[in-house]
């Protein structure tokens, strides 16, 4: 597309980058078809092409963000289905990142909206605060219908509904430690990795990282939980709070580079694909910071989703177990990180029968804090996702992102687990706690009979 920026505007590296992105768009409209909000609302303003146009108009005119632009950008899930679809290679992610940062700088949100976002940014990235908030939410749950009646309070109703009925106790897996590889004393480990502890995930479901550590060490990998790790910054990044996001990125880069320099790392293992997309982008986020650009790029290159890493380890194939798993690919997995085959191949090799639900490219509506900030659209997407998943008649749902797990679990009775929990089970770990019902006891152990 033609663009209209002055040389002065293009002197800003963020504008210059966005201009390059806009120049690639040919306005063909393919992206509209796979955009969850366009498919749901049928309004081009809530499609990638419409948003690209709104952003272009705002940036070209050097305008502050206004209520309308904010409405349509806020409705974007950042699922990046558009990027997978786009034949022209439009880098929508970095364009919308820029737009969000621009909104944060130039637009004053209504009070309640500011407050909600402030609370989320202050609580979610910090496991201690988040755990306490969940306990409070459990008590406040009966208030949800009350909050629903006031538009500006709806996000709080959504938060109360999403909060689990019980909060698991803090897990040792989140404590800094070196988990030695389970190999004979005279042998060395096959590899050495760091694991991202994360922020919300270890509070909501510590079993995911426990299973990851157990499986990797059993496979002969040394797993480090480094001292000083924090939230990846994704949550505030998607709110346009750039400085906060970059601070989170710098802290983690420091932590992992220290490990690289001391013990060496083959990978930084990530068990929430939402975090993976962001950490793989650290190199880009910090490109303008001479002190960090190179280190951040190195960390991004080391970042691997746990399934991406497991796929390199040649796990043995198992006999079919007669258990059907619907694999839900998180958007950050399939669109953000372009990991599509590895998780399914691992599950199949482990003996599970894997089903692909229809409309797999569509988001489940979780999308970070989207299910809190946009509860209505999110609920429609959840219903559609659950319908498609249940149509495959699975015994279990597997996915690779805690956001999707929480979202989908709130809409179905079918157990939903992280892919790695099923893999750990198949390769010698205990049966996941969620599968404790009588039905699963008869599934029998050990599941891992080599073919």
Partner 1 sequence: MTDFIRFLEPQPAILSRRDAIVADLVDLLPKDCLIHAPRELVPFETDAFVSYRRVPLAVALPRTTEEVAAVMRYCHKYGVPVVPRGAGTSLSGGAIPQEDAVVLGLSKMSRILDIDLANRTATVQAGVTNLNISEAVSPEGFFYAPDPSSQLACTIGGNIGMNSGGAHCLKYGVTTNNLLGVRMVLVDGTVIELGGKHLDAGGYDLLGLVCGHEGQLGIVTEATVRLIAKPEGARPVLFGFETSEEAGSCVADVIGSGIIPVAIEFMDKPAIEICEAFAKAGYPLDVGALLIVEVEGSEAEMDAMLADIVEIARRHGVKTVRECQSATEAALIWKGRKSAFGATGRISDYICMDGTVPLSQLSYVLKKTSEIIDRFGLRVANVFHAGDGNMHPLILFNANDPDDAARAEQAGNEILKLCVDAGGCLTGEHGVGIEKRDLMTHQYGKVDLDQQMAVRAAFDPGWLLNPSKVFPLEGRPAA
Smallest gap, in angstroms, from Cβ of residue 18 to partner 1?
15
- For 396, left (φ over 0), alpha (ψ -120 to 50), or beta? beta
Site for partner 1 contains 390 (CB under 8 A):
no
Compute how many residues bind partner 1; rule: CB under 8 A: 37
Site for partner 1 contains 92 (CB under 8 A):
no
Smallest gap, in angstroms, from Cβ of residue 212 to partner 1?
31
Smallest gap, in angstroms, from Cβ of residue 301 to partner 1?
22
Q: Which of 87, 185, 290, 450 binds partner 1 (CB under 8 A)?
A: 87
Between 3 and 324, CB nearer to partner 1: 3
Site for partner 1 contains 166 (CB under 8 A):
no
| HEC readout, the chain | CCCCCCHHHHCCHHHHHHHHHHHHCCCCCHHHHHCHHHHHHCCHHHCHHHHHHHHHHHHHCCCCCCHHHHHHHHCCCCCCHHHHHCCCCCCHHHHHHHHHHHHHHHCCCCHHHHHHHHHHHHHCCCHHHHHHHHHHHHHHHHHHHHHHCCHHHHHHHHHHHHCCCCCCCCCHHHCCEEECCCCCCCCCCCEEEEECCCCHHHHHCCHHHHHHHHHHHHCCEEEEECCCCCCCCHHHHCCCCHHHHHHHHHHHHHHHHHHHHHCCCCEEEECCHHHHHHHCCHHHHCCCCCCCHHHHHHHHHHEEEHHHHHHHHCCCCECCCCCEEEEECCHHHHHHCCCCCHHHHHHHHCCCEEECCCCCCCCCCCCCCHHHHCHHHHHHHHHHHHHHHHCCCCCEEEECCHHHHHHHHCCCCCCEEEHHHHHHHHCCCCCCHHHCCHHHHCCCCCCCCEC
Q: Which of 86, 120, 196, 417 binds partner 1 (CB under 8 A)?
A: 86
Site for partner 1 contains 57 (CB under 8 A):
yes
Between 45 and 313, CB nearer to partner 1: 45
Smallest gap, in angstroms, from Cβ of residue 52 to partner 1?
8
Smallest gap, in angstroms, from Cβ of residue 54 to partner 1?
6
Site for partner 1 contains 29 (CB under 8 A):
yes
Site for partner 1 contains 420 (CB under 8 A):
no
Site for partner 1 contains 45 (CB under 8 A):
yes
Q: Which of 18, 83, 85, 273 binds partner 1 (CB under 8 A)?
A: 85
Q: Which of 7, 8, 89, 438 binds partner 1 (CB under 8 A)?
A: 89
Q: Which of 11, 16, 26, 441 binds partner 1 (CB under 8 A)?
A: 26
Site for partner 1 contains 49 (CB under 8 A):
yes
Q: Which stretch binds partner 1 (CB under 8 A): 29-37, 217-225, 294-302, 335-343?
A: 29-37
Site for partner 1 contains 216 (CB under 8 A):
no
Q: Which stretch binds partner 1 (CB under 8 A): 1-9, 95-103, 284-292, 315-323?
A: 1-9
Q: Which of 15, 21, 25, 349 binds partner 1 (CB under 8 A)?
A: 25
The footprint of partner 1 (CB under 8 A) covers 1-3, 23-34, 38-39, 41-45, 49-50, 53-54, 57, 66, 68-69, 72, 85-90
């Amino acid at each position: 597309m033609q663009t209209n920026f002055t040389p002065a505007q293009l002197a800003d590296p963020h504008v210059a980058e966005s201009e390059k992105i806009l120049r690639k768009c040919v306005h063909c409209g393919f992206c509209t078809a796979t955009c969850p909000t366009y498919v749901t609302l049928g309004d081009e303003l809530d499609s990638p092409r419409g948003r690209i146009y709104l952003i272009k108009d705002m940036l070209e005119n050097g305008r502050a963000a206004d209520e309308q632009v904010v409405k349509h950008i806020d409705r974007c899930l950042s699922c990046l289905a558009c990027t997978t679809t786009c034949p022209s290679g439009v880098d929508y992610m970095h364009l919308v990142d820029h737009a969000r940062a621009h909104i944060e700088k130039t637009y004053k949100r209504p009070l309640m909206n500011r407050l909600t976002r402030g609370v989320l940014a202050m609580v979610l990235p910090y496991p201690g605060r988040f755990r306490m908030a969940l306990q409070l939410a459990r008590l406040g749950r009966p208030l949800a219908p009350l909050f629903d009646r006031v538009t500006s309070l709806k996000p709080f109703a959504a938060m109360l509904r999403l909060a689990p009925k019980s909060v698991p106790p803090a897990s040792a897996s989140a404590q800094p430690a070196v988990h030695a590889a389970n190999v004979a004393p005279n042998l060395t480990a096959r590899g050495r990795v760091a694991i991202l502890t994360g922020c919300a995930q270890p509070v909501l479901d510590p079993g995911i990282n426990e299973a990851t550590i157990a499986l990797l060490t059993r496979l002969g990998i040394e797993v480090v939980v480094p001292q000083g790790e924090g939230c990846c910054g994704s949550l505030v990044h998607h709110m346009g709070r750039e400085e906060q996001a970059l601070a989170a990125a710098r802290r983690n880069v420091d932590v992992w580079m220290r490990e690289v320099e001391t013990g060496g790392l083959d990978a930084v293992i990530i068990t929430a694909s939402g975090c993976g997309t962001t950490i793989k982008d650290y190199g880009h986020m910090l490109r303008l910071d001479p002190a960090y650009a190179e280190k951040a790029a190195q960390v991004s290159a080391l970042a691997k989703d746990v399934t991406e890493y497991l796929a390199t380890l040649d796990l043995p194939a198992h006999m079919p177990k007669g258990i059907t798993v619907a694999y839900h690919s998180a958007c950050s997995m399939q669109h953000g990180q372009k990991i599509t085959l590895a998780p399914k191949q691992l599950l199949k090799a482990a003996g599970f029968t894997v089903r692909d639900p229809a409309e797999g490219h569509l988001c489940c509506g979780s999308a970070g804090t989207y299910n809190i900030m946009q509860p209505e659209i999110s609920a429609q997407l959840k219903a559609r996702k659950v319908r498609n998943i249940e149509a495959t008649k699975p015994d279990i749902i597997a996915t690779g992102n805690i956001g999707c797990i929480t979202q989908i679990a709130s809409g179905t009775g079918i157990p939903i687990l992280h892919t790695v929990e099923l893999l750990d089970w198949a390769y010698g770990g205990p049966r996941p706690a969620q599968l404790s019902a009588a039905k699963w006891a008869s599934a029998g152990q050990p599941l891992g009979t080599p073919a």
